[in-house]
Structure 1
């Protein structure tokens, strides 16, 4: 039996693994604390990491090509690229945002002129977060699009 035989079953098991166990796996596989993103993000990154450790990651030439493409976009200016990522307005139309809240998964679809949650249109993510939680939230923080605390 090879090392790769159990990988498909391990990946499939991520879907039903409790969130605290996913976070434990994250700590083991990445040697860092898991980010405050939604469950689906954890599942997809863990699945990638499991495969990466088993089958290998990107080839060095692929990494170099991606770095070159990134430099073409922002001239290699790390401050500019971070600023663009941190201050981008809204996700691309059609993007689905997933958030688990008190055991219930909520799916929001990004529209050209707002958002849709449970078949209803909303102008802001904050309004959706308020409808879900009953309290005021920054919608971008609630859906994992922005860290709660900005680093200096």
Structure 2
């Protein structure tokens, strides 16, 4: 199948076998590709690494800007924090009755407070309460 000039894979000489694409991936990344990686992704990766070899890659300014954006994105998302996972803001108190006992949790900036102990997530609290794996937001009715 002929490739369009705008296709990033057009820089790869056709035809290329999957084995050749896997070998190119292993050379570029030092590890085999994940199972079920599509030939399209393998080809795009090979084309990108070939382009980097020919042009020298991204400029120092561009790399610095991308790093700054990535660092900012990590701070904005608060990955793994209860407030992100649940939509509940720090300071929110949740109450759940389970088997005749009321369980009170407080959402913190860095997790969830339950019975004087800080948990990383509502799911961890739900597991401590029930002994089974639960979706924390679902268990607390969020």
Shorter-chain TM-score: what band? Answer: 0.3 to 0.5
- When Rg is computed on C-alpha atoms for both structures, the one with the higher figure is 2
TM superposition score normalised by structure 1? 0.39
TM-score calculated relative to the size of structure 2: 0.42
